[in-house]
Structures are given as C-alpha cells and as structure tokens.
C-alpha cells in the first residue's frame, strides 16, 4: 500500500496510524513512537537534526524502521528548516552515507517553477554525482483534483524520479477567524475520492500521506482526519477506507 500518515508527537500516533489503515508513517523526526507495527520512515528535518543519524543508529538497519530517509523539511521556508541550497548540498553526503533510500528535500514552493529551490538542489546533486532516489512533494491548495494531478504529473515529468507526496491537503489560504473557509468537508471527500485512486494507479507515485490539522484550523480544518477526541471525521473515514 502507498497510503501513510504524518503526525505530531502528541502521544496518539499508534491509535491514529491504525485508525486510517496506514501502511507506513512518519513524524518529521527520527524516533519511532511505541506501539506501531507498520514501517516507520525517519526524516532529517534540518541541519540541526543531522546528529540524530548517529543517535538513532540510522547508518544500519533498525527494527521497525523502513530502509529510507527523508530529506530536509521545507528548506525554502523561513519558518521551517530554512537551509540554503549550498548548505543543503554540502551536508547531503552525510545522509547519503546511511545507505538508505533517500528522498529529496520537500519544498514549500512549487518544485517545477523556474529556478526553484528544488531545481537548483537537484542540478547540484547531479553535478556532484550525489544520490537522490525519489522526490518528496508538499501540496496545499483548493480541492481541485485535476489541478493537483496535473502538478504531480509535471513534477514527475521534470525530475523523472519516483514521487512521495509527504504532505498534502486541500486548503483555503484566504480563510481567517472571521472569514471561514469556503470549502466543506464534502469538498475534501470528493477531492480525496478522485485523487487517491489516481495516485494508486500511477506507478511513479510510490507513497503519499494526507496532512491533517485540527477541525478548528481556519485553513485546513474542513479537511481534518480526526476530531478533537481522536475519532475519525467523515474525511478521516473516507481516507481509512481508500
């Protein structure tokens, strides 16, 4: 199965991973939470977490861990890992030395845009003969299935590597506390019912995971997978069944 779950470290990981029938999981970290039987995928979130490769023994096989390592989280974002392309490339051999399959850094910006952070990184990786085994993608936009799938296809066409969609969700970035999102949970469900089968049918898409926030979140709440008590929303029930 391709379907996964990404989550924060709030102590509910095992319940949530099981609830949505995820085949894999990650938490922007390198430490496996207890009580989960499906493979865990570690991530080097940023340069400050590079020492976790040694701390968690990622240079060898670790029980419960998939033999994969995800690259930096949104290095082009000032509020995320915030890494220059030059620094990202300089430290990439440390990730490569683990021998794990390596996912590219997942950028906040469009990976196919002219002179994008990822295009610069991938060009330098090629020049230096560094290994990147698949492309990691983040996507947040209105729930337009045709647009989403076209963007995923365009990323594959550009980089010609397998794709992991490590965060995605419909979003309304114009919503505020006083101007509710114009989309509903049914819009999210309709989107999900179209794109999940389409992702499953694309051989180049190896894995994906819906990104959930709380139901109260003004931008993504309509697409949340879980209620505050941990039970599945209607969107979550749909994800679990796909």
> Among residues 86, 122, 120, which one has the least CA distance to residue 104?
122
**Which burial class, exposed, middle or buried, applies to 126 when counting CB atoms under 10 A from its CB (0-12, 13-18, 19+)?**
exposed
The overall average pLDDT reported for the chain is 98
Whole-structure pTM value: 0.97
Write down the domain spans for the chain. Answer: 3-241
Q: Classify strands 3-6 and 68-70 as parallel, antiparallel or unpaired.
A: unpaired
Residue 91 structure tokens: 């430290």
Q: Which residues of 134-150 are buried (b: 16+ CB within 10 A; e: fewer)?
A: bbbbbbbebbebeebbe
pLDDT tens for each residue of 165-190: 999 999 999 999 999 999 999 999 99
Decide if 44 contacts 83 (C-beta within 8 A).
no
**Residue 16 Cα distances to 9, 81, 113, angstroms:** 11, 26, 35
Cα separation of 158 and 67, whole Å? 26
Q: Which CATH architecture has domain 3-241?
A: Alpha-Beta Barrel (3.20)
End-to-end CA distance of the chain: 10
Rounded to the nearest 10°, the torsion over CA 193, 197, 200, 202 is -120
Q: What is the mean pLDDT of residues 34-55?
A: 97
pLDDT above 90 for 10: no
pLDDT tens for each residue of 97-150: 999 999 999 999 999 999 999 999 999 999 999 999 999 999 999 999 999 999
Cα separation of 208 and 5, whole Å? 8
């Amino acid at each position: 199965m391709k379907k996964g779950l990404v989550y924060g470290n709030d102590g509910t990981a095992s319940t949530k991973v099981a609830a949505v029938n995820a085949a894999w999981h990650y938490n922007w970290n390198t430490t496996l939470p207890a009580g989960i039987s499906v493979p865990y995928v570690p991530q080097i979130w940023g340069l400050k977490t590079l020492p976790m490769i040694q701390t968690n023994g990622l240079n060898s096989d670790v029980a419960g861990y998939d033999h994969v390592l995800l690259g930096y989280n949104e290095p082009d974002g000032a509020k995320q890992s915030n890494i220059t392309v030059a620094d990202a490339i300089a430290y990439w051999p440390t990730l490569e030395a683990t021998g794990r399959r390596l996912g590219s850094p997942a950028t906040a910006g469009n990976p196919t845009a002219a002179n994008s952070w990822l295009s610069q990184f991938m060009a330098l990786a090629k020049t230096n003969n560094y290994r990147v085994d698949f492309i990691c993608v983040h996507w947040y936009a209105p729930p337009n299935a045709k647009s989403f799938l076209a963007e995923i296809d365009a990323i594959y066409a550009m980089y010609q590597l397998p794709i992991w969609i490590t965060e995605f969700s419909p979003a309304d970035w114009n919503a505020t506390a006083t101007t509710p999102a114009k989309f509903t949970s049914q819009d999210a469900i309709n989107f999900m019912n179209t794109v999940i089968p389409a992702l499953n049918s694309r051989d180049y898409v190896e894995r994906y995971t819906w990104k959930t926030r709380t139901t109260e979140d003004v931008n993504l709440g309509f697409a949340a997978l879980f209620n505050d008590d941990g039970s599945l929303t209607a969107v979550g029930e749909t994800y679990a069944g796909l």
